């Protein structure tokens, strides 16, 4: 999840602090999640998804091959 969290944050043009403000998740926690040092609770992940305007599946990812891959 940490790689995708950072990718989505950057894609939305947000700093760690800005995502923290939008999601109401402390920016230090986001830094720790992005570095793989913190496994967040589901409620925290959902806050991040809402702030990034993405689904849980987009963040967590379903690695099943899609048709045509």
Taking only the tens place, the pLDDT of each residue in 9-61 is 999 999 999 999 999 999 999 999 999 999 999 999 999 999 999 999 989 88
Residue pair 55/9 in contact by the 8 Å Cβ criterion: no
Residue 62's pLDDT is 63
Residue 65's pLDDT is 35
Longest dimension (CA), the chain: 40
Residue pair 25/32 in contact by the 8 Å Cβ criterion: no
Whole-prediction pTM value? 0.85
């Amino acid at each position: 999840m940490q790689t995708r969290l950072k990718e989505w944050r950057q894609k939305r043009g947000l700093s760690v602090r800005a995502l923290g403000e939008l999601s109401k998740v402390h920016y230090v926690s986001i830094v720790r999640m992005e570095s793989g040092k913190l496994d967040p609770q589901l409620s925290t992940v959902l806050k991040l998804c809402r702030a990034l305007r993405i689904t849980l599946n987009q963040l967590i990812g379903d690695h099943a091959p899609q048709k045509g891959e």
